[in-house]
Amino acid sequence: MKNFAKIFITASTLLLTVQSCQSQKVVVNREVETTNDGKMLLGHQTKDQLLKAPYSEWYSPQHADYAIDQKALAELKKEKLNSYNMVLVMGTWCEDSHREVPRLFKILEATGFPDAKLTMIAVNRKYEAPGGEEGPYNIQRVPTIIVQKYGKEIGRVIETPTSGYLERDLLEIIKRDNSPIKDLLK
């Protein structure tokens, strides 16, 4: 009986140890105070953080003032933007992020893009997040918007859209993915 109790306790301890090692706590909406940049978001974030001060000071006006290219928006809907996933890596200290992130959210809202299909990661000036969340994406500049299909990157917009309009760059990425020529090249 004593052996059974020892085996049971040992097995239970081992099982709990393995389970605790496998489960990692994901911290969402981490905010830090820095000497040079003041408040800064780091790691996984949700859009509602951008609606709070001090981020709302740049987010809200940019979001309100951006005029979406309606033709590109209609094409994004037609090309089924909602069938893709996106990863947004941004810096709350970055002027390009201050401009492009509110625009991206306005576009996503206009297309009805599901919040669950967007992963937002905030990084510091070294392009690092506390848990290394940015690691798999090879981030060189922010914001970086990565469009994915079935977990595979099909394109990205880095810092500023090449066309001058974020919705047009996103449309170009999706059109390339939906192109019949792409299937012939496989």
Model confidence pLDDT, tens digit, residues 101-110: 999 999 999 9
Query: How far is the C-alpha of 79 from the C-alpha of 8, rounded, in Å?
Result: 57
Two tokens, residue 34: 């820095």
β strands within the chain, DSSP E? 30-34, 38-45, 85-90, 118-122, 144-149, 152-158
- H/E element, 3: helix 2-22
Which one-letter DSSP state was computed for residue 67?
Answer: -
Q: Is the pLDDT assigned to residue 4 strictly greater than 80?
A: no
Query: How far is the C-alpha of 7 from the C-alpha of 123, rounded, in Å?
Result: 47
Answer whether 76's CB lies under 8 Å from 111's CB: yes
Give the pLDDT confidence score for residue 1 in this predicted structure: 60
Q: Is the pLDDT assigned to residue 58 strictly greater than 90?
A: yes
Task: Record the pTM.
Answer: 0.83
Give the pLDDT confidence score for residue 138 in this predicted structure: 96
Two tokens, residue 20: 């605790």
Which of 14-18, 74-78, 102-106, 167-171 has the lowest average pLDDT? 14-18
Q: Is the pLDDT assigned to residue 152 strictly greater than 90?
A: yes
- Tell me the sheet residues that pair with 45: 120
Two tokens, residue 96: 């390009």
Residue 15's pLDDT band, with cuts at 50, 70 and 90, is low
Q: How much is the mean pLDDT over the chain?
A: 89
Give the pLDDT confidence score for residue 14 in this predicted structure: 60
Beta strands 38-45; 30-34: pairing state: antiparallel
Two tokens, residue 36: 């040079």
Give the pLDDT confidence score for residue 132 in this predicted structure: 94
